[in-house]
A and B are shown apart, each in its own frame.
Chain A
Amino acid sequence: MKKFLALMLALCMVFALCACGGGGAAKTSGGPFAPDGPVTLIVAYKAGSGTDGPARILAQYAEKYIGQTVVVENVPGGSGSIGWSQLAASDPDGMTIGVMNLPNFNTTITEELGTYTTADFKAICNHVTETSIVIVRADDDRFPDLNTLVEYGKAHPGELRASTNGNHASNHLGAQLFAKSAGFSYIDIPQGGTADQLLSLRNKESDFTVVKLGDISGQESAYKVLGIFALERDERFPDVPTLAELGYYDKWVGASRAIVAPAGVSDEVISFYEDALKKTMEDPDYIAAAASFDTNFLDHEATAALIEEQQAAAEAQTDEFWSFD
């Protein structure tokens, strides 16, 4: 009996160790690059998160073009900075790449959570782009359109409340850019996550809020979209004006997820993945599987420019930008 028990406990431990998983391979370089073992894709958020799902779909369909298994490794913690630190410190042998969330990545640098800079990464391509929108409750008759919301805010300074997904987080940034450009002030209610942020709007703790287009998919009837932070209207919401055409903030605002490698990788590695992922994102099977989010391929140069642009924007957001005094 005792032996049997000891065996059972030992088995438990084996399972526990298996749960830790693992994997990785080394390689030497020379000539055009091709990975000779499983490729690791680092996601700086936990399994099942908003970043994780699309990354896994990309990884699954990319295997056909990369020619190797792509293992998604979730390294959550530190608002993403733990994962990005690990990616920056990985061997630049092309066997490890990762997902970089903009603008969260830039915020970890300005908030001094990460010890890395943008120079520690090399862009491969862009994967997903989500555009920000301004929404109110569908049954809120006070605000039929964006202009009435702005007028109300100007007439009642400090009265409008907007829930955000965290202090200085992406949706707080959107709300701030909107309010500053329209010349009204509001109170931000940081909720720490998009689900709680939307709940706060629905139970009338907030008057308006800024989220990404994809966040309200499936529950469109509960909200009214008043404006979109883009240069052109979105085909899914043809009646919704852009902030620019109403004379408010005139640049794109949203979140992007880029695929990057540690800075030391060779140009062959970059062009190999850029090519493979471009083909992946054009694959009809991938497109069918990725219907629920906004795939947006950009080449490595455009992606690198986007990262720098977002970094410059994040650094320009001084204390003055975040306050209304």
Chain B
Amino acid sequence: MLETLGLMGAGFINALTPINLLMMAAGVALGIIIGCMPGLSAAMGVALMLPLTFTMKAETGLIVLGAIYCGAIFGGSISAILIHTPGTPASAATAIEGYQMTLQGKAGKALFTACYSSFWGGLLSCISLYFFAPLLAQLTLKFRSAEYFWLSIFGLTIIAGVSGKSIVKGLISGALGLLISTIGLDPVTGAKRVMFGQAYFAEGINTTCALIGLFSMSQVFILAEKKIKERAQATKFSDKMSLTRDERKMIRPTILRSWVIGNIIGLLPGAGAAIACFLGYNTSKSFSKHKEQFGRGSIEGVAGSEAANNAVTGGSLIPTLTLGIPGESVTAVLMGGLVIQGLAPGPELFGKYAPMTYTFFAGFVLVQFFMLGIGLLGCRGFAQISRLSDAILIPCVTVLCCVGSYAIHKNILDIVVMMAFGVLGYFMRKLDLNTAAVVLALILGPIGEKGLRNALKSSGGDPMILFSSVVCWVLIALCIVGILSPMFMSKLEKKAEKEAISGTGEDIEQLTEEDSV
């Protein structure tokens, strides 16, 4: 215990180096910029910036990615409030009350509420990260091949979750990802599978290239196809960005409720910030003493949505760091960063690599403060950015995609693979298939295959080994929950959306579907 406290303290000291602080500030600012530009999602932003972290120290790299993640989730609220277009799906519910406040000339107040609630949501989620992550990591020491098999199956139920709208399309996407994950040397016998005689494919498809292609490059194609369109004019606002003491007191219980909701949603595979914001918003509405303000610019509504979506960040890092099962698509990308730094999710992160891990945690806590500061000071500037022309955006993102995938191994073939996945991602989106499901299947496929085959090998082919431990049965139960949860979740989400819409008469459904990545 004392040792852990020491590690936590040392983490803060390590995180406070000038370079780390600089990177936090830059990461948060970049994240907010990405977040407030409609069309660029948090997952895409993190994927794009991932290669820039290769040359950094592991903890610094992870802190930058965490900063972009938090910044982007908050940044989405700026355009949601000012131009009624959520910058990321995670802020869809914020648009409801936030834009009403803007129309009443209270945009400053709305932005302050968003920033303040995001800060508390994120900060509180760090508590659960500190508390639960090491516990879960200890558990993985008990994991053998059979448990890893079930773990990957559990992770694959995420596919049903992230697909949301159509389970069949989610499963098609997942199957495609699993198929692609078989490329390379067979993990058990060493046979060459679908390698076309190229040693390049021996270690399989590079996940990072695949996700840069699927998340970022495909978005470029989509943007380019839409041609260069004019974005809505951001409203200039003149009121002061602040809340009175009474108002802050009023949103305090809302923030606490949204923290719990966001955290649980983050932990659950398949449910991400987009769902959390609606649940947070609705809960704030049902518990509010001022229900009449909802739909007419309620600060509680903004707080409920924004605290919940930022509370997801810390929550979804827990399964990512401990089990290697990302809680949502952004953390799937973050995990790519972890692996490239030579770190594998699991107990070693809290043993051998504990100093690094606790530095990252401390950085994640500090990032929340940067988010508060930069958010409050820079809001007016960031509001202008949401108007940035696609003509600038498209070439910049394309260059970053190419440079990023080349930087991993300095192999030109990686750019080819990235482009191929970009094209694949474009067509998948056109067909309403799910690119995040492909990435998850690419990560989980090899874990599951190795687990199943090694488990059967060690038991001499007896399948009962798959049901031989308590952990196995717990995971099987979680799989069943995982399969059933999306149906439950989509019902919950639809209900929440419906209630939200019926309160305002505004059609925001289209906003939530715009970018499911």
Neighbour of A205 across the interface among B144, B185, B392, CB < 8 A: B144
What 5 pairs between A and B have smallest CB-CB spacing? A78-B199, A48-B342, A167-B190, A78-B202, A16-B403
In the complex, chain A residues whose CB is within 8 Å of the CB of B392: 2, 5-6, 9
Would you call B385 and A111 a contact (CB within 8 A)? Answer: no
Contact A19:B52 (CB < 8 A) given known A113-B202, A114-B199: yes
Would you call B199 and A82 a contact (CB within 8 A)? Answer: yes
Would you call B190 and A195 a contact (CB within 8 A)? Answer: no
Q: Taking the complex as formed, is A79 at the interface, i.e. its CB lies under 8 A from any CB of chain B?
A: yes
Sampled A-B contacts (21; CB under 8 Å): A5-B392, A6-B396, A9-B392, A9-B396, A13-B403, A15-B52, A16-B52, A16-B400, A16-B407, A19-B55, A20-B410, A77-B199, A82-B200, A111-B190, A168-B190, A187-B458, A189-B457, A192-B450, A199-B141, A200-B145, A203-B141
Would you call A190 and B454 a contact (CB within 8 A)? Answer: yes
Neighbour of A13 across the interface among B203, B342, B344, B400, CB < 8 A: B400
| Cα-based distance from A249 to B437 in the complex (angstroms) | 49
Interface size of A by CB at 8 A reads: 50
Annotate A48-92 by CB proximity to B: 1 below 8 A, 0 otherwise: 110000000000000000000000000111110110010000000
Q: Taking the complex as formed, is A142 at the interface, i.e. its CB lies under 8 A from any CB of chain B?
A: no
Would you call B51 and A19 a contact (CB within 8 A)? Answer: yes
Would you call B457 and A187 a contact (CB within 8 A)? Answer: yes
Would you call B142 and A47 a contact (CB within 8 A)? Answer: no
Of B199, B384, B396, B454, the most chain A CB neighbours within 10 A belong to B199
Q: List residues of B (187-243) whose CB comes within 8 Å of A's CBs.
A: 187-190, 199-203
- Smallest distance from the beta carbon of B451 to chain A beta carbons, Å? 11
In the complex, chain B residues whose CB is within 8 Å of the CB of A161: 458
In the complex, chain B residues whose CB is within 8 Å of the CB of A48: 341-342
In the complex, chain A residues whose CB is within 8 Å of the CB of B185: 79
Given contacts A2-B392, A16-B51, A48-B342, 20 further A-B contacts (CB under 8 A): A1-B384, A5-B385, A6-B396, A10-B396, A12-B30, A77-B409, A78-B202, A81-B199, A82-B199, A82-B409, A82-B411, A158-B460, A187-B457, A189-B145, A189-B454, A190-B450, A192-B450, A200-B144, A202-B141, A203-B143
Closest to B54 in A: A19
Q: Taking the complex as formed, is B390 at the interface, i.e. its CB lies under 8 A from any CB of chain A?
A: no
Q: Taking the complex as formed, is B389 at the interface, i.e. its CB lies under 8 A from any CB of chain A?
A: yes
Q: Taking the complex as formed, is A17 at the interface, i.e. its CB lies under 8 A from any CB of chain B?
A: yes
Contact A12:B400 (CB < 8 A) given known A189-B454, A190-B454: yes
Would you call B399 and A13 a contact (CB within 8 A)? Answer: yes
In the complex, chain B residues whose CB is within 8 Å of the CB of A189: 145, 454, 457-458
Q: Taking the complex as formed, is A38 at the interface, i.e. its CB lies under 8 A from any CB of chain B?
A: no
In the complex, chain B residues whose CB is within 8 Å of the CB of A78: 199-203
Q: Taking the complex as formed, is B369 at the interface, i.e. its CB lies under 8 A from any CB of chain A?
A: no
Neighbour of A203 across the interface among B54, B142, B384, CB < 8 A: B142
Q: Taking the complex as formed, is A264 at the interface, i.e. its CB lies under 8 A from any CB of chain B?
A: no
In the complex, chain A residues whose CB is within 8 Å of the CB of B130: none
Would you call A2 and B388 a contact (CB within 8 A)? Answer: yes
Would you call A190 and B188 a contact (CB within 8 A)? Answer: yes
- Smallest distance from the beta carbon of B444 to chain A beta carbons, Å? 15
| Cα-based distance from A78 to B392 in the complex (angstroms) | 37
- Smallest distance from the beta carbon of A162 to chain B beta carbons, Å? 10
Would you call A191 and B202 a contact (CB within 8 A)? Answer: no
